[in-house]
Structure 1
Amino acid sequence: MNQNSALLLERLEVTNLPSLPHVLLKLLEACNRDNSSFRTLAEIINKDTALSSKVLGAANSAYYLRPHKITVFEQKLILLGLDAIKSIAISSSVLQVFSNITFSSEFALKRFWYNSLTSATLAKLIAHKVNFPYPDEAYLSGLLLDIGQLVLWSNFPKQYASLLGSSENETEFSLLETKQLGITHYEVGSWLINSWNLSSFMSDAVLYHHEPQERIQDAHPLIKITRLAHVLTSDEFDQEYRVSLAESLLGIDAKDVVSMLQTATEQVAIIAQSLDIDINTNTEEEPLQEALPAAEASERRKFRAAAVTTSKEPKITKSEVDNQKRLQLAREVRDISLIEGTSLNCGIATQESTLVSIQRSFYILFGLQNAMFFLYDQEYDIIYGNNMGGQSELINELVMPLEKGKNMLADALLSKSPQNSFSYQDEGNLSLIDEQIVRLSGAEGIFCIPMTSRQTQAGVAIFGIHKSQLPRLEKQTKLLTAFAQQATHSLAACHARDEQTKLIELETLTATRAKARQIVHEANNPLSIMKNYIKALGVKLDKADPAQEDLLILNEEIDRVAKIIRQLTESTDAAINLTELNINGIILDLIRIMQESLFEPNQVKVESNLDSSLPHIMTDKNKFKQVLINLIKNAVEAMSRGGQLFISSRNNVVKNKFNYCEIIIKDNGPGIPQEILDHLFEPVSTTKGKGHAGLGLTITKSIIDELDCKISCKSDIKSGTTFTILIPIN
């Protein structure tokens, strides 16, 4: 591809490709029904080239991070969500109604739709016949084979229409495209599909669908399938060539060709009827070459009939139904505008999800990909970067003052008008931070759209663009500004909800703490009495009595309980009190104190294997002890009929190049169900039944994180459950 072709591609408008009003009306109707499934929507969208291209482009944008294999088209819709699909339907309808493109006899959209759908249907039938594992991929490849024609015609309607009427075969047509435009429709189609980052050979299938048999004989199956679908759809090729190609390329015999042609014709006719598309495919049968010399006479007649029906271009007429559909679509767009103009988005959304929706809408409406957002902080009067999925983390480190003349972003926000780096560069006003953002965008320059309204400054949206795209964006300034204002309102509403939520949380927390102070005051009384009794018991016992050590442990545990209760009244979590801790000593103390109170009553035998080389660790004694107690209690309670508990420690365990001390607490109980295991450290994930809140492991995980440790769990019904704690060695 030469430099002129590359420049042409950069200038092409590919987001506003036209669809038949009949299809758009059907899609709008389905979107407005509460019970419409993704499958229903997929069955409408995948009948139209332009709509399918919008879905594939949006579903494979940078936000979704990685390309996806097309196995089922419905998955793409699920990935986008119903709101995005409705946005595609509405934006496509609005653009269709207000488009300046007029349909010509040379490029009849109904004829294009019919041929594309026939090609797609045949591609899927062929894929099934040859056991190609991705029939939906073959279908979409067939549907998009000539999307390049749609792109070129919508960008250069008069010039391309004259090309369509000036050639007799596809070879001559390709030469005319190259001569007058510098590029062919299949190169344009391949470029567009390649821009979606699909994990697929679809772009190659489009690029090579005009190649002769000898060139694609050993190519990928998808390329051969789409080539055959194209040949069977086109009326350029005689029947002998079609049969010969089917047999030599994919091993499909004449009878199967007949069957597929008849099936495709019937299916497309049914679809056209369901969409109220009036296409008359009845044509006079012309004499055909003998393509099946070895076939029976009846088969020969079937082949002729099917070939004529499919290969001949349908008789396209502008019927009264078509005019009615255009008027009906215009009325639908008017009604949508009235509804959207008098309603607010009252859905519950976070700032992140709102930005994701705005980013996706910029692509669906304007073809602007991977928006970078810089948000305004009113308190500090600054603009700061907000990284989105798939973007450089360095964006978060960029902060700039909201002062006129300091940078392009501030100028855009203060002037409430779009700015671009090309103009700033020409005038010598591009600041250093502007240059950094251009480099982060990975493009030739950037286009900056302020998100502002009369009373609100939300920030700016930035897009990496080529200079050749600038004229098109400048023409859309009013529409871009109007959409940015809507985005501002959404972000402002989101911010207001966040502030209201914080206020409610603060009021709730204040009331909870007042109640907690009352509980703490009442709980301290019995704890004080218990401490006094333990002290009195210690005085009565001989100082050398072994029970004195047990009393000391009980006294420490009462102090620990009192400290935990006091935390209920503190405004923040208790600070970490680092002490040098003997982990093995803590484990042995807990085993001793729990022997009579927990292990023996539950018929649990405890075995320990503690590494004597374990060093003393700097950590919070009370918090770490709480973690061990929670895990040991959980293990015992899981073994309702008794069992074995194994506790071990090990020094110098290396994980990801870091040294840790390892503690393992293992039981031979019934294990944890997988559905619980997947959400183990979330609140209310409990298998203990009534009387247990399911918060123990949530608290445990919270403490582990606070102490900069790590915890993991493995469990199955045969070997029980194992918790592993890793403590970093400082």
Structure 2
Amino acid sequence: MYSLPEPIRHAIESGRAPSPPQVLLRLLQLVDDDCTTMARLATLVEQDPGLCTRVLTAANSPAIRRGKQLRSIEGCLIALGTRLVRSIATCLSVQSLFDERTATRAVDLSAFWTHSLLVAELSRSLATSSGYPRPDEAYLAGLLHDVGELILISALGDPYLQLLAGSASEAELADRETEQLGVHHGQIGTWLADQWQLDSPFADGILFHHLPAEQIVTAAQLPQVVWLAHAAASGDAVPDDLERLAEKLFGDRSGSPLAALRDAAEQRMRVFADAIGIAPLESAPSGSPTGLPRVLGLRRGAAETGADAAAGQLAAMIGDKALLQPLQEDLCTLESDAALLLSLRESARILFDLNHLAFLLADPLDGRLAGQGIAGQEPIFGQVSIVLEEQRSLAAAAVLSGAIRSSYDQAPAPAKSLMDIQFARALSSSGLLCIPMPGRNRTVGVIVAGLTAGQHSRLTHRLPGLANFSRIAGVTVENWREAQDARKQTEDNAAAHFARQARRTVHEAGNPLTIIKGYLKILDSKLPQGAGVHHELSILTDEIERVASIVRRMSEVPAARDNDQAVDVCDLVRELLLLYREALFDSRGIVIETALPARPIHVACDRDSIKQILLNLWKNASEALSRGERFQLSLTDDVLHQGRRFAELKIRDNGPGMSEQAMGALHRAADGQLGAARGGRGLGLSIVGTLAHRLEIAVTCRSKPGHGTMIALLLPAPDRTERRGGSEAKPN
């Protein structure tokens, strides 16, 4: 690929392929409709190779893709999100207007579009009938099998249009491409598909579609499907030898005859073409090569086509305003800085072919340029903090001058900066283009783009539009920052109000709790020593103190708990049973059985948190169990797990069991959603999970409907060296 002429390589990297105006018009209409679903939008995108390349390229960019293969267009659209899809649609439409104003020839894509759609439909039918496991992937490969032609139109312009105009068939075009360019459009499309990092058979389906029949029989199933669909779609009828080849390739798996599958695919294609307003296949002039983009000659004086009418409507939708104003409106709806910068990156790629770029934002206090925390760009941009001195970098020079600066400027010549060399290497380019982003009162940042001398030369006439784009970017970033500051101020005010209310609540609740503790102390002193309830009163006093502590923490910043304090969990369980056994179990007729060692078992956990965990689990069990059912508690120590010592506390019952959703709550944050649906029981389990995670307590749960539940807690034991009174030092 890197031996290709630079314009072709650049077009491949950007996924730049034109779409018929009819399709772009329909796309704008759909994204403006609040009722449009992603599935409906995907149906339109899946009908046009140009749109598919843009969506696949954007969805597989480093800022969005997270290692997972995006095999479907709907999956790509979901990954991009509604607002970014709308920005892409707007930018594609704006780009088409730029092309209309600068193009010297008109290209009718109707024949190309209908041929590609027919091959796609037929590929899916063949994949389904022959048992290929991913028919939608076959559809996409069929749709994009000739996308290399669109890339070459976009990259080379008139020279390639002349080559197109002189070719009587697609096979002849491929031969002439190889002779004059050293590659054919199938290879160009394959290199584009390779950028998306999908399985290799997908790209092979594009690469092999011009091979002879005797070679395709040795290929994998997907390339065979696309080859056969392309061959069947290239003529008015399916010849007998092609039917025989289909039987040879797929045998009894082929299902319906190839001719019947082609007729059904063509019928579906015509429905789509009619809905969008693209001329059917037979309307092309006699002698026109089937499936190739048709060169119409000079735009001036040519008869108006359906594409012309759609382009006029497109211009009416956008051209009445400044070309980039619709983009500005889209950007204003974004809700995060990450989404905003991602949309700006994809917009710059579409509008100005800036495939490799990064953002440096200005510090509001000292103006330094930095890129920390911005996703989807090379690490070097997150490691710098550039002082605004011209010799430091082209980025600083662009901010100071308020003008676009590049490595190719003649006057003033750029300063030699090692940082600029690092930036260019990171962006895989020989030079830089630095575009300041002015806000209303100051520059808010710089767009740093990597580009070659040839790209810079081609972009020269677009610099005014690029400056307008950067102003939109700057003002939008500035507005977003101001909105973020306003939201933070609102949140701070709300937090301060809540803190005042919490302090008032703590004060009001603290008084009666103090009075209750005092009365318990008086009661304890009045009871005779042999009354047998002094221990219970002591436990009750401790519980009231725990409640008071919880209330006090409402107005405090949470402090880190000491999880290394030694707690006798046997003693703690007995205390809780003394207080809660009657209310939770005995009064409900639930049989409770315990197996607790007589000796102390110490664990390194916060005492109050362990109480909260056990009470939530016991309360959850008592609400689930019926009279006569059993609840068992057991405790063992010296359990080794991953090299550490633990005590294991097990809770068993023979009740109705727990649902998978309820068990999942043990490992989910206490957000209240499950609790709201299940009377608070799910919320209690979520609190258990949250506390257990904080205390590093491993929780396991086994349950089966109708067969009871077992929950085990692994409570970390104290470090033995600490328990020896410091006789052994812990290793550093």
Q: Normalized against structure 2, the TM-score is what? A: 0.81
Matches of residues 8-47 of structure 1 in structure 2 within 5 Å? 9-12=8-11, 14-47=14-47
CA distance in 2, matches of 1:343, 1:53: 25
Q: Is the 8 A contact 1:144 1:206 kept in 2?
A: yes
CA distance in 2, matches of 1:158, 1:49: 21
CA distance in 2, matches of 1:347, 1:676: 38
- 2:50 corresponds in structure 1 to 50
CA distance in 1, matches of 2:397, 2:111: 49
CA distance in 2, matches of 1:627, 1:143: 58
Instruction: State the secondary structure of the residue aligned to 1:581.
Output: strand
Matches of residues 544-555 of structure 1 in structure 2 within 5 Å? 546-555=532-541
Please list the CA deviations of residues 605-643 of structure 1 after superposition, one character each: whole Å capped at 9, or x if unmatched.
444556899974554433443343333333333436554
State the AA in 2 paired with 1:681.
A
With over 3 angstroms needed to count, the CA separation of the structure-2 counterparts of 1:493 and 1:69, relative to structure 1, is closer
State the AA in 1 paired with 2:633.
F
Matches of residues 682-697 of structure 1 in structure 2 within 5 Å? 682-687=670-675, 692=680, 696=684
1:88 Cα deviation after fit: 2.7
CA distance in 2, matches of 1:215, 1:512: 75
Of 281, 305, 310, 1:325 maps to 310
With over 3 angstroms needed to count, the CA separation of the structure-2 counterparts of 1:508 and 1:41, relative to structure 1, is closer
Q: Is the 8 A contact 1:630 1:700 kept in 2?
A: yes
- 1:270 corresponds in structure 2 to 271
- 2:482 corresponds in structure 1 to 496
Q: Is the 8 A contact 2:631 2:654 kept in 1?
A: yes
Matches of residues 171-182 of structure 1 in structure 2 within 5 Å? 173-182=173-182
CA distance in 1, matches of 2:640, 2:398: 55
CA distance in 1, matches of 2:559, 2:317: 60
- 1:297 corresponds in structure 2 to none
> Does the alignment pair 1:334 with 2:335?
no
> Does the alignment pair 1:602 with 2:588?
yes
1:649 Cα deviation after fit: 5.2
CA distance in 2, matches of 1:506, 1:469: 48
> Does the alignment pair 1:248 with 2:248?
yes
Q: Is the 8 A contact 1:123 1:225 kept in 2?
A: yes
Q: Is the 8 A contact 2:190 2:207 kept in 1?
A: yes
Instruction: State the secondary structure of the residue aligned to 2:257.
Output: helix
- 1:134 corresponds in structure 2 to 134
With over 3 angstroms needed to count, the CA separation of the structure-2 counterparts of 1:442 and 1:93, relative to structure 1, is closer
- 1:101 corresponds in structure 2 to 103
Matches of residues 701-720 of structure 1 in structure 2 within 5 Å? 703-704=691-692, 706-707=694-695, 716-717=704-705, 718-720=707-709
With over 3 angstroms needed to count, the CA separation of the structure-2 counterparts of 1:96 and 1:373, relative to structure 1, is closer
With over 3 angstroms needed to count, the CA separation of the structure-2 counterparts of 1:382 and 1:701, relative to structure 1, is farther
CA distance in 2, matches of 1:588, 1:85: 61
State the AA in 2 paired with 1:637.
E
With over 3 angstroms needed to count, the CA separation of the structure-2 counterparts of 1:662 and 1:60, relative to structure 1, is farther
Please list the CA deviations of residues 473-523 of structure 1 after superposition, one character each: whole Å capped at 9, or x if unmatched.
666544444334333333333333332233233333333333333332332
Mean alpha-carbon deviation: is it higher for 146-155 or for 479-488?
479-488
Q: Is the 8 A contact 2:232 2:238 kept in 1?
A: no
Q: Is the 8 A contact 1:377 1:384 kept in 2?
A: yes
- 1:626 corresponds in structure 2 to 612
- 1:65 corresponds in structure 2 to 66
Instruction: State the secondary structure of the residue aligned to 2:631.
Output: strand
- 1:159 corresponds in structure 2 to 159
Q: Is the 8 A contact 1:645 1:668 kept in 2?
A: no
1:417 Cα deviation after fit: 4.7
State the AA in 2 paired with 1:4.
S
With over 3 angstroms needed to count, the CA separation of the structure-2 counterparts of 1:110 and 1:171, relative to structure 1, is closer
CA RMSD, 1 decimal: 4.3
Matches of residues 287-302 of structure 1 in structure 2 within 5 Å? none
Instruction: State the secondary structure of the residue aligned to 1:179.
Output: helix
1:207 Cα deviation after fit: 1.0
Q: Is the 8 A contact 1:148 1:185 kept in 2?
A: yes
1:415 Cα deviation after fit: 4.3
Instruction: State the secondary structure of the residue aligned to 1:722.
Output: strand
With over 3 angstroms needed to count, the CA separation of the structure-2 counterparts of 1:504 and 1:125, relative to structure 1, is same
Mean alpha-carbon deviation: is it higher for 230-239 or for 130-139?
230-239
1:21 Cα deviation after fit: 1.6
Please list the CA deviations of residues 117-151 of structure 1 after superposition, one character each: whole Å capped at 9, or x if unmatched.
22222222322332322222222212211111111
> Does the alignment pair 1:573 with 2:573?
no
Mean alpha-carbon deviation: is it higher for 645-654 or for 276-285?
276-285
- 2:194 corresponds in structure 1 to 194
Instruction: State the secondary structure of the residue aligned to 1:632.
Output: helix
Instruction: State the secondary structure of the residue aligned to 2:633.
Output: strand
CA distance in 2, matches of 1:173, 1:594: 86
Q: Is the 8 A contact 2:141 2:202 kept in 1?
A: yes
Q: Is the 8 A contact 1:276 1:321 kept in 2?
A: yes
Instruction: State the secondary structure of the residue aligned to 1:569.
Output: coil
CA distance in 1, matches of 2:230, 2:464: 42
> Does the alignment pair 1:483 with 2:465?
no
1:465 Cα deviation after fit: 6.2
With over 3 angstroms needed to count, the CA separation of the structure-2 counterparts of 1:98 and 1:361, relative to structure 1, is closer
- 1:87 corresponds in structure 2 to 87
- 1:290 corresponds in structure 2 to none
State the AA in 2 paired with 1:54.
R
- 1:722 corresponds in structure 2 to 711
Q: Is the 8 A contact 1:681 1:697 kept in 2?
A: no
Q: Normalized against structure 1, the TM-score is what? A: 0.82
State the AA in 2 paired with 1:192.
L
Aligned pairs, number? 701
Mean alpha-carbon deviation: is it higher for 129-138 or for 460-469?
460-469
1:374 Cα deviation after fit: 4.2
CA distance in 2, matches of 1:321, 1:710: 67
1:50 Cα deviation after fit: 0.6
Q: Is the 8 A contact 1:711 1:723 kept in 2?
A: yes
CA distance in 2, matches of 1:412, 1:226: 50
- 1:258 corresponds in structure 2 to 259
State the AA in 2 paired with 1:430.
S
- 2:723 corresponds in structure 1 to none
Please list the CA deviations of residues 156-207 of structure 1 after superposition, one character each: whole Å capped at 9, or x if unmatched.
2221123234455656543432332232211111111111222452211111
CA distance in 1, matches of 2:68, 2:573: 49
With over 3 angstroms needed to count, the CA separation of the structure-2 counterparts of 1:159 and 1:211, relative to structure 1, is same
- 1:298 corresponds in structure 2 to none
CA distance in 2, matches of 1:728, 1:476: 69
- 1:430 corresponds in structure 2 to 417
- Structure 1: gaps spanning 5 or more residues: 287-307
1:550 Cα deviation after fit: 2.5
With over 3 angstroms needed to count, the CA separation of the structure-2 counterparts of 1:437 and 1:600, relative to structure 1, is farther
CA distance in 1, matches of 2:431, 2:293: 45
- 1:296 corresponds in structure 2 to none
1:113 Cα deviation after fit: 1.7
- 1:294 corresponds in structure 2 to none
With over 3 angstroms needed to count, the CA separation of the structure-2 counterparts of 1:533 and 1:478, relative to structure 1, is same
CA distance in 2, matches of 1:368, 1:615: 66
- 1:303 corresponds in structure 2 to none
1:331 Cα deviation after fit: 1.0
With over 3 angstroms needed to count, the CA separation of the structure-2 counterparts of 1:721 and 1:540, relative to structure 1, is same
- 2:542 corresponds in structure 1 to 556
> Does the alignment pair 1:646 with 2:629?
no
Please list the CA deviations of residues 78-108 of structure 1 after superposition, one character each: whole Å capped at 9, or x if unmatched.
333332332232222221122033445xx64
Please list the CA deviations of residues 412-437 of structure 1 after superposition, one character each: whole Å capped at 9, or x if unmatched.
4444455668999x9773346x6666
Q: Is the 8 A contact 2:603 2:718 kept in 1?
A: yes
With over 3 angstroms needed to count, the CA separation of the structure-2 counterparts of 1:639 and 1:353, relative to structure 1, is farther
With over 3 angstroms needed to count, the CA separation of the structure-2 counterparts of 1:468 and 1:724, relative to structure 1, is farther
Of 498, 504, 527, 1:518 maps to 504
CA distance in 2, matches of 1:190, 1:534: 83
Mean alpha-carbon deviation: is it higher for 165-174 or for 187-196?
165-174
CA distance in 2, matches of 1:510, 1:501: 14
CA distance in 2, matches of 1:279, 1:697: 62
Mean alpha-carbon deviation: is it higher for 477-486 or for 367-376?
367-376
With over 3 angstroms needed to count, the CA separation of the structure-2 counterparts of 1:74 and 1:631, relative to structure 1, is same
